[in-house]
Structure 1
Amino acid sequence: MVFSILLVGSIIVPFTDVSRAASDHGDCVGPGESIQAAIDGASVGDTICIEAGTYEEEVTIGQNAAGETLDGLTLVAAAGQSPVLSGSGTGTGVHIDGAATVTVEGLEIREYGTAVRVEDSPNATIKSNTITENDQAIRDFDTPSHDMVIVDNVIEQNPIRGISVQGSDRVQMTGNHIEANGKLGFRYWFRDLHSGRRRW
């Protein structure tokens, strides 16, 4: 397998605000409500809108409560609002697990072990988020989450690393502001087909 990655433009660019209207998404999750509960009750292709507030939880986008894989699900901030997913220094803020074409947009994700974990989930889009003060920002955990798009995010002050791509091909990263992330702002691993060893 040949791994490829597309980097477009400067790594440090101005942040792009989310401009999608909340009315386009129907009812939103609000403060005191559970984002995970909304995901568990969602259907394939649904959009879950999140209002401003701080949500102290870890969320997984994989299957709903009925066991259906939530392909095409979108998790997006309400228009003009900046909801915060806040952790306790461990765990994962958003885990995309086995669902295709998932979008996470417009959130602030902070103080987790890993902010966004993409695992066996092709065509994921991570867009216009602020990801800060986690150990690590975005990882694919050595799984084939091909055709991932990471665009217009602010990724800073994550003390281990910013973005780590270990097993995914055709990853596109454009317009991200990546700064002050431990030893590495971005790390891309590939597996040597002859030796079987991973290199970066």
Structure 2
Amino acid sequence: MMRFHISRLACAAAIIGAVFGAAPPVAADQMTHVVFPGQSIQRAVDAAEPGDTVLLAPGTYRESVTVNTPGITLTGMGRSTVVEPDTKQAGKCAEAGNGICVIGTKAHDVEGVTIASLTVTGFTGSGVFAMGTDGLTVRNVTAVKNGVWGIAQERSTHGVFRKNTARDNGDAGLFLANTIKEEAGAADTLGTVVEHNRLEGNRIGITVRRLRNLTVADNHLTGNCAGVFVVGDENKPRAGALTVRDNTIARNNKSCPKTARLDALQGSGIVLTGAEDTLVTGNRITGNVGASPLSGGIVLFKSFVGTTSERNRITGNVLEGNAPADLVNTDTTGKGNTFEGNTCGASKPAGLC
């Protein structure tokens, strides 16, 4: 492993630029730890201090990596920097089948970590998994053919997920939740942003589960069984108080079988179930066709534990060619849900367009 003391910033930038063709900007009192294929990413991460960058050269790395130091950046040089499983590796991240883990504790979130510009593929769990983080940024990451989630975050705040590609993962391409191991009310993400991502061929493109105060915007979702799921239940506070806007959601017509938690999926654009005070606006939703109870362009659906969706606003969306309808409200006992100003051809029940 090569280390460059960035007090000599111009010299370091010239060396890294000569090797890789480009170098990320680094402050004068920080260090860059450069890792080449065959060397240990984990060793470089463990040596890094807050503010440091671990820079991965193009090539394939076979290991799982755990980050619990605040303020570090783990970055590759684009899709040609590939992280794959090492089936013989020990440690909690590897044993859970995950590729890159960013893990805080219940007492202390790990703050300000960035994961960027690399590919994670072939893990039985998640490509990138984060828990107990504050201000995590995941950008320009390609998560492909992982067994559960492409990129996942639980019990975290102030997250930024931008310009990632999640394709052909077993469950959600992007999965954000309060926690999956215990019953709890929806958590406030304090403004997490999911934007400009591409989600293709997953079971669900983006799942937002038991969360509040979050924006899902300007994403492109196609070829999944379902595009966007906003999921709540009977716990308090309720899921919702979030925005789903300006997304392109087209032809999410892959067929996925029923699971213990969810009915069979096909042809779902945006589904709200057990959510409240959610704004769905400015989305373009086309060609999502299926025969599932959850099929349709924008679907309000009573949660599987019987919790209604309430005070959600569906406004200013453009919908075309979705079936059984562009707008579907099966949650007719939910109070205060409104459908206004949408451009669409058909609805169930009639009169929502």
Q: TM-score range by the shorter chain?
A: 0.7 to 0.9
Report what 1:15 is aligned to.
none
CA-based RMSD = 2.6
CA-CA distance at 1:171 after TM superposition? 1.6
Q: TM-score, normalised by structure 2?
A: 0.45
Report what 2:74 is aligned to.
75
Report what 2:65 is aligned to.
59
Secondary structure (helix, strand or coil) at the match of 1:22 reads coil
Which piece of structure 1 moves more, 145-154 or 187-196? 187-196
Instruction: Point out which structure has higher relative CO (alpha carbons under 8 A, 6+ apart).
Output: 1
Question: How many aligned residue pairs are there?
Answer: 171
Secondary structure (helix, strand or coil) at the match of 1:165 reads strand
Report what 1:6 is aligned to.
none
1:132-147 superposed matches below 5 A: 132-135=144-147, 136-141=149-154, 143=155, 145-147=156-158
Judge conservation of contact 2:79–2:119 (CA < 8 Å) in 1: no
Shift in alpha-carbon separation, 1:111–1:81, aligned structure 2, 3 A: closer
Secondary structure (helix, strand or coil) at the match of 2:130 reads strand
Judge conservation of contact 1:51–1:81 (CA < 8 Å) in 2: no
Could you tell me how far apart the structure 1 residues matched to 2:41 and 2:51 are? 16
Give the unaligned 5+ runs of structure 2.
1-19, 27-31, 88-95, 105-109, 179-186, 212-231, 240-273, 276-353
Q: Percent identity?
A: 28
Report what 2:111 is aligned to.
100
* 1:124 paired residue among 112, 129, 136: 136
Asked if 1:115 corresponds to 2:127, the answer is yes
Q: TM-score, normalised by structure 1?
A: 0.76
Between Structure 1 and Structure 2, whose CA radius of gyration is higher? Answer: 2
1:1-200 superposed matches below 5 A: 21-22=22-23, 24=25, 26-62=32-68, 70-78=69-77, 82-87=80-85, 91-98=97-104, 99-112=110-123, 113-135=125-147, 136-141=149-154, 143=155, 145-167=156-178, 169=189, 170-182=191-203, 184-190=204-210, 195-196=235-236, 199=274
CA-CA distance at 1:81 after TM superposition? 6.8
Which piece of structure 1 moves more, 107-116 or 24-33? 24-33
Shift in alpha-carbon separation, 1:20–1:188, aligned structure 2, 3 A: farther
Could you tell me how far apart the structure 2 residues matched to 1:139 and 1:81 are? 19
Could you tell me how far apart the structure 2 residues matched to 1:51 and 1:150 are? 23
Provide Cα deviations, 1:96-123, integer angstroms capped at 9, x if missing partner: 0112110000000001111111110110
Which piece of structure 1 moves more, 85-94 or 148-157? 85-94
